[in-house]
């Protein structure tokens, strides 16, 4: 069975992004094994000269390495990705490169109407940077607005149109994961470049 | 001009901090730039509110008190650092010091890009509703290849870069002045008598309406008192000496700051003996608490005329004056060295004894002016003959409010003969926090 790591893109105790991922975990249980991952309590990235990466980041990097793909669900703070998620991605690209060529599906929720649209666009830019270099599923977006009202007491998404959309996107993501496995001609080079990449040696 | 600089990195060797330090030392004539430290700010977590922590409150205070902010951002993973983003999230969660604050973005990076993507993202973040900073458009300063950019004394090597950065900073200084002028209440209606804004001297966390506001605020600010010395322009007094000095002035003095908060009067007499009675418990009150509702419109007009520089002095006789008692209120705008409005010095005194002494000493008598438009027995204000103003004087508390509405000579006419004032100086009484977010995705709110 396909194995996905689902990263909750916030350190908050209350999060409808966590709820969405928990829903997906249950809803797609017969299709994939989805494991939720948290980023709470990680130290703030300070670019240590000894390149020491905290244990939390190493553990998640290991899980990502072994997974077929990653799902990230992001809230939106100040029109962008929360600092806690940015922080996790900084550690996950500092001397370790679990995201290189890894298929990624982005989702997001918000209390208001927009469903974290700006944060998702921001996250794509970040995941496209040289030391992350993820394979983000193109031309797809799952924006869940008014997320406080979106789930029933069992944690199920109540809007059937939204569920249909999510079903479609998830099926596409599984196909995308398979396709990505064939896009392997450059993967060795990509990994090597990300490893060799050093802002210090550029310019 | 006072600016603060934030380097968006917590790493030990930050070239962005080096860049800000260079700006602070090299362009001291343009502005006073103080570097702020973000190293102790915890990671933002909305379920663990640390707004009141020292590190966050320190940044809040410094930014509120500054005329503008310079942010130097590195670029990690095509965007700004999580540490800088975390700071901005704290400062847009329950407090909003960036609201309407002019901001300049600069950035340094190892590579040719010079932090271009991080700067764009930072701009977008700063302009989001919860932050609501006013970022200077254009004038992008990207410092590429930073490892070779500074000499061993941490000075920028390239003369053209130094010139360009200097001219950019000059533009920012002008931008700050323009923006802070925009933020100024320009009409009387915009005057906020509830003092809900904040200025750099506002003492936060103390109830303005508390009867012991003075004691509470003094404790909070560790205020000088008693025999502590205060250096003045020009002299040196202890607090006790200063009190004696002010309390023997031949007039009642009142201080209202630019946030429209009543913060001082010279308590030389018991309330009932004052010409314009003030009670000790009123000190610290917002102006709205010490004026009857019907006076609000007039009070706002007076404050705004002083703030915007329409005049530097407003004067008016109180109602009910007689030949033996002619009480005047004077309102004088106080401005700092940069001509920024800092509040009102109000003094109240009885002119009758002075006139009486003058007549006796020179052997003269008063004679009614047959051409006078005012009733000679009440109100000698030269301009007082203009439209009667039913809302009456703007004194802190009317001794006899019921009389004010009937007296036709009471008027806050702006005396045109006074020194022509310069245009409004850019003081920035902070706007109230933005109302509820338009969309839940804005601001540092959970989703």
- Residues contacting residue B232 through CB under 8 Å, at least 6 positions apart: B242
pLDDT tens digits along A119-135: 999 999 999 999 999 99
Q: Which of residues 109-128 of B touch A (CB under 8 A)?
A: 109-112, 117, 121, 124-125, 127-128
Chain B neighbors of A114, CB-CB under 8 A: 439, 441
A76/chain B closest Cα distance in angstroms: 5
- Degrees to nearest 5, angle at CA B116 with B111 and B121: 135
CA-to-CA distance for B258 and B240, rounded, in angstroms? 26
Chain B neighbors of A131, CB-CB under 8 A: 77
CA-to-CA distance for B90 and B273, rounded, in angstroms? 50
| DSSP code for B238 | E
pLDDT at B375 over 60: no
CA-to-CA distance for A78 and B159, rounded, in angstroms? 37
Confidence of residue B340 (pLDDT cuts 50, 70, 90): confident
CB contacts < 8 A (A, B): 172
Per-residue pLDDT at B186: 74
Closest partner residue to B78 among A12, A75, A125, by Cβ?
A125
- In chain A, what are the domains? 2-201 (3.40.50.360)
- Is there a contact between A202 and B111 if contact means CB atoms under 8 Å apart? yes
Burial of A160: CB neighbours in 10 Å, binned 0-12, 13-18, 19+? exposed
Are B44 and B93 spatial neighbours (Cβ–Cβ below 8 Å)? yes
Chain A neighbors of B43, CB-CB under 8 A: 11, 42, 44, 83-84, 87
pLDDT tens digits along A56-98: 999 999 999 999 999 999 999 999 999 999 999 999 999 999 9
Q: Among candidates B307, B297, B311, which has minimal Cα distance to B383?
A: B311
Closest partner residue to B447 among A11, A147, A199, by Cβ?
A147
- Is there a contact between A112 and B45 if contact means CB atoms under 8 Å apart? no
- Residues contacting residue B370 through CB under 8 Å, at least 6 positions apart: none
pLDDT at B434 over 70: no
pLDDT at B407 over 80: no
Per-residue pLDDT at B140: 87
The DSSP result for B304-343, as a single string, is HHHHTTS-SEEEEEPTT-BTTB-EEEEEEEEE-TT--EEE
Per-residue pLDDT at A201: 53
Choice between B340 and B421, residue whose per-residue pLDDT is larger: B340
pLDDT at B414 over 70: no
Q: Among candidates B214, B192, B353, B352, which has minimal Cα distance to B284?
A: B214
Residue B323 vs residues B93, B175, B350: alpha-carbon distances, Å = 60, 53, 11
Q: Which of B165-174, B191-200, B314-323, B366-375 has the lowest mean pLDDT?
A: B366-375
pLDDT tens digits along B125-174: 999 999 999 999 988 899 988 888 999 999 999 999 999 999 999 999 99
Task: For an interface test with A, give the residue of B143, B146, B447 to mutate (most A CBs within 10 A).
Answer: B447
Chain A neighbors of B50, CB-CB under 8 A: none
| DSSP code for B132 | -
Handedness of CA B245, B325, B301, B212 (dihedral sign): positive
Task: For an interface test with A, give the residue of B45, B50, B82, B436 to mutate (most A CBs within 10 A).
Answer: B82
pLDDT more than 90, % of chain B: 64
- Is there a contact between B46 and A12 if contact means CB atoms under 8 Å apart? yes
Residue B327 vs residues A154, B302, B303, B410: alpha-carbon distances, Å = 75, 18, 20, 12
Closest partner residue to A17 among B88, B442, B447, by Cβ?
B447
Q: Token pair of B126, please?
A: 């700063």
Closest partner residue to B45 among A12, A128, A129, by Cβ?
A12
Domain boundaries, chain B: 2-183, 189-404
pLDDT at B402 over 60: no
B347 DSSP β-pair partners: B253, B330
Walk along chain A (203 residues) and give the pLDDT tens digit of each residue: 999 999 999 999 999 999 999 999 999 999 999 999 999 999 999 999 899 999 999 999 999 999 999 999 999 999 999 999 999 999 999 999 999 999 999 999 999 888 899 999 999 999 999 999 999 999 889 999 999 999 999 999 999 999 999 999 999 999 999 999 888 777 778 778 887 776 555 43
Q: B2-183 — its CATH code?
A: 3.40.50.360
Choice between A27 and B402, residue whose per-residue pLDDT is larger: A27
- H helix count then E strand count, chain A: 6, 6
In this structure, the strands spanning B102-108 and B134-135 are parallel
- Is there a contact between B441 and A79 if contact means CB atoms under 8 Å apart? yes
| Whole-complex ipTM | 0.90
Are B381 and B411 spatial neighbours (Cβ–Cβ below 8 Å)? yes
Q: Which residues of B215-227 are buried (b: 16+ CB within 10 A; e: fewer)?
A: ebbeeeeeeeeee
pLDDT at B424 over 50: no
Are A50 and A92 spatial neighbours (Cβ–Cβ below 8 Å)? no
Q: Token pair of B375, please?
A: 């009733």
- Is there a contact between A132 and B77 if contact means CB atoms under 8 Å apart? yes
pLDDT at B372 over 90: no
Confidence of residue B339 (pLDDT cuts 50, 70, 90): confident
- The mean of the pLDDT values for chain B is 84
Choice between B56 and B310, residue whose per-residue pLDDT is larger: B56
Mean pLDDT of B348-364: 94
Radius of gyration of chain A (CA): 17
Per-residue pLDDT at B200: 83
CA-to-CA distance for B81 and B8, rounded, in angstroms? 7
Per-residue pLDDT at A57: 97
Radius of gyration of chain B (CA): 26
CA-to-CA distance for B56 and B6, rounded, in angstroms? 13
Per-residue pLDDT at B295: 86
The helix/strand/coil state of B396 is: coil
Q: Which of residues 330-359 of B touch A (CB under 8 A)?
A: none
B218 interface with A at CB cutoff 8 Å: no
Yes or no: domain B189-404 corresponds to CATH 3.30.450.20: yes
pLDDT at B437 over 60: no
Q: Token pair of A38, please?
A: 């948290």
pLDDT tens digits along B86-130: 999 999 999 999 999 999 999 998 877 778 899 999 999 999 999
B440/chain A closest Cα distance in angstroms: 4
Q: Which of residues 114-143 of A touch B (CB under 8 A)?
A: 114-119, 122, 125-126, 128-129, 131-132
B94 interface with A at CB cutoff 8 Å: no
């Amino acid at each position: 069975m396909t194995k996905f790591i689902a990263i909750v893109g916030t350190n908050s105790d209350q999060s409808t992004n966590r709820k969405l991922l928990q829903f997906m975990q249950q809803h797609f249980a017969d299709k994939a094994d989805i494991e939720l991952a948290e980023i709470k309590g990680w130290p703030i990235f300070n670019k240590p000269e000894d390149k020491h990466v905290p244990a939390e980041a190493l553990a998640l990097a290991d899980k990502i390495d072994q997974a077929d793909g990653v799902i990230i669900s992001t809230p939106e703070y100040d029109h962008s990705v929360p600092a806690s998620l940015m922080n996790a991605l900084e550690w996950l690209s500092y001397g370790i490169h679990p995201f290189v060529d890894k298929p990624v599906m982005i989702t997001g929720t918000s209390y208001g109407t927009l469903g974290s649209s700006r944060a998702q666009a921001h996250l794509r830019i970040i995941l496209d940077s040289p030391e992350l270099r993820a394979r983000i599923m193109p031309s797809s977006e799952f924006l869940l607005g008014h997320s406080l009202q979106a789930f029933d007491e069992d944690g199920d998404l109540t809007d059937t149109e939204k569920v249909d959309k999510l079903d479609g996107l998830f099926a596409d993501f599984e196909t995308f994961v398979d396709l990505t496995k064939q896009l392997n001609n450059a993967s060795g080079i990509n990994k090597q470049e990300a490893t060799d990449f050093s802002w210090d040696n550029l310019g | 001009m006072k600016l603060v600089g934030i380097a968006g990195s917590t790493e030990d060797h930050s070239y962005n901090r080096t860049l800000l330090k260079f700006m602070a030392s090299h362009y001291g004539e343009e502005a006073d730039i103080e570097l702020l430290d973000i190293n102790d700010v915890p990671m933002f977590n909305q379920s663990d509110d640390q707004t009141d922590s020292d590190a966050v409150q320190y940044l809040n205070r410094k930014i509120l008190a500054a005329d503008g902010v310079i942010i130097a951002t590195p670029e990690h993973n095509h965007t700004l650092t999580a540490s800088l983003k975390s700071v901005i999230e704290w400062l847009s969660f329950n407090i909003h010091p960036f609201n309407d604050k002019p901001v300049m973005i600069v950035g340094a990076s190892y590579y040719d890009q010079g932090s271009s993507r991080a700067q764009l993202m930072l701009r977008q973040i700063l302009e989001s509703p919860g932050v609501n900073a006013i970022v200077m458009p254009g004038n992008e300063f990207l410092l590429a290849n930073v490892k070779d950019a500074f000499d061993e004394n941490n000075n920028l090597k390239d003369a053209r870069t130094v010139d360009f950065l200097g001219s950019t900073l000059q533009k920012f200084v002008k931008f700050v002045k323009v923006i802070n002028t925009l933020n100024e209440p320009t009409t009387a209606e915009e005057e906020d008598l509830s003092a809900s804004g904040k200025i750099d001297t506002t003492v936060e966390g103390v109830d303005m309406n508390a009867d012991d506001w003075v004691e509470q605020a003094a404790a909070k600010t560790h205020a000088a008192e008693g025999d502590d010395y205060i250096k003045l322009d020009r002299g040196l007094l202890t607090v006790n000496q200063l009190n004696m000095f002010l309390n023997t002035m031949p007039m009642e003095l009142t201080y209202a700051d630019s946030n429209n908060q009543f913060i001082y009067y010279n308590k030389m007499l018991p309330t009932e003996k004052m010409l314009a009675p003030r009670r000790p418990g009123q000190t610290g009150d917002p102006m709205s608490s010490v004026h009857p509702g019907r006076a609000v419109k007039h009070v706002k007009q007076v404050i705004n005329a002083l703030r915007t520089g329409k005049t530097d002095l407003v004067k008016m006789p109180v109602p009910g004056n007689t030949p033996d008692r002619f009480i005047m209120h004077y309102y004088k705008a106080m401005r700092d060295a940069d001509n920024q409005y800092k509040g009102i010095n109000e003094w109240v005194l009885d002119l009758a004894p002075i006139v009486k002494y003058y007549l006796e000493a020179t052997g003269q008598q008063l004679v009614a002016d047959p051409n006078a438009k005012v009733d000679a027995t009440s109100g000698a204000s030269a301009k007082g003959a203009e439209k009667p103003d039913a809302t009456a004087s703007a004194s802190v508390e009317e001794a006899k409010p019921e009389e004010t509405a009937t007296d036709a000579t009471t008027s806050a006419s702006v005396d045109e003969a006074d020194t022509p004032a310069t245009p409004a100086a850019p003081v920035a009484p902070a706007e109230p926090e933005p109302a509820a977010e338009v969309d839940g995705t804005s601001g540092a709110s959970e989703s």
